[in-house]
Structure 1
Amino acid sequence: MRRRSLLTATAAVLLLAGCSDSPPTGGPTTPPPLPSTSSPGQRLPQVRVLATGLAVPWAVAFLPDGDALVTERDSARLLRVTQGGRVTPVGRVPGVEPGGEGGLMGVAISPSYPQDRYVYLYFTAASDNRVVRFRHTDGGLENATPIVTGIPKGGNHNGGRLAFGPDKMLYIATGEVGDVRLAQDRDSLGGKILRVTAEGRPAPGNPFGTRIWSYGHRNVQGLAWDERGRLYATEFGQDRLDEINQITKGANYGWPEVEGSGGDDRFTDPLLTWTTDEASPSGLAYTSGSLWAAGLRGRRLWQVPVGADGRVGRSVARLEDQYGRLRAVVPAPDGSLWVTTSNKDGRGDPTADDDRILVIPPH
């Protein structure tokens, strides 16, 4: 599973043209099954359609009152969605320049939101991808403050997920925007998972004294922690294998030298891989003893049991070919899972109701 040398002309063409929607050339690998409280062999409760008529809802974050803020990638709109499904525009986010896979992407709510009312957004601007902090008021978004700038932008592989961890630090998933060299370059913010303070400074305890927490990533769009504080991430493969990785401080995940497991001590192997037609995983959530990964090309929601030791069991496909491309999956305050579709992103087959927010009741 070693990658070919970047110095060959053939590889250079493949790396520029490849994406996780390319045909697979290898088979999936899965660990042996583990017991899990999530009962992956059982059917999910009835899925409810909460909202319809959206346009590429990319990320969801819940406010303390239970309402959610939802980003639309291509329209640059931030929406407020109630538990009952009422959708209200908060406003169009200034400075967003959508294009390709870029636009308005991640959203995170300050851990101190009741006091500071801060909302963090990851988006593509004129010259870069960036994280901007806003104050959320009854009038919309105010006091835009860029806290991390200079994240490389491109037509694809822009990363984009934001999440506050159990340590109350902000984690930022970035992509290598098709320039594979950036993933191994620790002077670049591309192809990394970043860990910063609420003001955007390198977080205390970071491995290199910079904003970088881990590197060697191709395109990370999902972050989730289990109840033991372990961080997991989804990773788009090129044309063979998509991944779920357990993320540890300072680790190198191998791209572009490795796609999937490489058996090289310099790199951290994934916990789990799928072929790219089975997954193309974007959002990631953890609840009820399982990871849940939303598949774009795979058009399914993967449930992956996680054992007490962090090992993962055999993944189970849910919602396969029922709702099309799935983008975000987020645990709601009531124990349900919210899942968004992404059928209007230029690669799907939208129905009259797309795009939608789906709710899977607690189970």
Structure 2
Amino acid sequence: MSEHHVVVENLVKTYPGAATPSVDHVSFALPKGEMLALLGPSGCGKTTILRMIAGLIEPTSGAIQLNGREISQTPVHKRNMGMVFQAYALFPHMTVAGNVAFGLEMRGVPHTERGPRVQRALDMVKLGHLGDRRVTQLSGGQQQRCAIARSLVIEPELLLLDEPLSNLDAKLRDEMRDEIREIQSRTGVTAIFVTHDQDEALSMADRLAVMSAGKIEQIGTPREIFDAPANEFVAGFIGAGNFLSGRVTAPGEAEIEGLGPLRFEAPASVGSRVKLMVRPHRFKLAQPGPNGFTGPVESLVYRGQILTLAITVGGKRLTADLHTHAGQLPAKGETVTLAVAPGDVTFLSEAAA
């Protein structure tokens, strides 16, 4: 039996008449109790993967294993998965408790057992006092928690969440993000959720699978994905970046087009072309010197704790995020130097000159 709770192998989905697959030979494995985020732009295949795992869409080919069992052909009602949809899919004519109890009724759980299990699930999501209320009387966040309770009350082997926070306003989204993560950690349920929101994925998931055009570009921890992106697509999709191209002139040093020399710590062949990246928060204000770029401040955006500024050097625009408590901050039009440590320069790719 696999040591992983969920194993997806070479999963493919090609819709009739489509020139290319919506999901193109996707594979990943998920240990028990871990939360995985499928992250990517609209149309990249992430929701299709979730729906194939749920049994709502039949794969063209490939295998899906849950707890060592092949389930690709198992009917959806026999997969024992909890699902939380973008639109919650609650029954408006039922009470909160009635919605949560629905899955237990469908599974033939005795009435005497249903009541205590529903109450435990509602307590878990802080709705224990609202069981008799109609779902139409709940706020957006309460409806989301009701949907989560309904998914967890059946004690699923796997929890699936499809863009679970997209219908909430920004403040409530942040609160529910923390709550979902806390509930998942406390229950220990294995979970997969789909999102296009990088902040959501970075803050909630144990691991991220970044997708593009039906394929997984990179899978790893939030820190691995953010600090060591596998390619330019991942780097650009997860966080902001200053992308730099140049030629390696010496070990650990490249001449960047329009900017001059830049030292970095990745191995690269002298004479090769490289693509590098500097995250905006890696730049610091400094005196002119090595790994520093000097130019006039073109724009300033005050964000409370962070000041985002842009300078232009050699026709190239560089963006930096500076902490507003870091002493005297520059003014628009002032000439400043942005410096970066060689270890904070991200290596993306190398090609022959």
Which bin holds the TM-score, normalised by the shorter protein?
Answer: under 0.3
Structure scoring higher RCO (CA < 8 A, sep ≥ 6) equals 1
Question: Who wins on radius of gyration, i.e. which is larger?
Answer: 2
Larger proportion of helix:
2
The alignment's TM-score, normalised by the length of structure 1, stands at 0.23
The alignment's TM-score, normalised by the length of structure 2, stands at 0.24
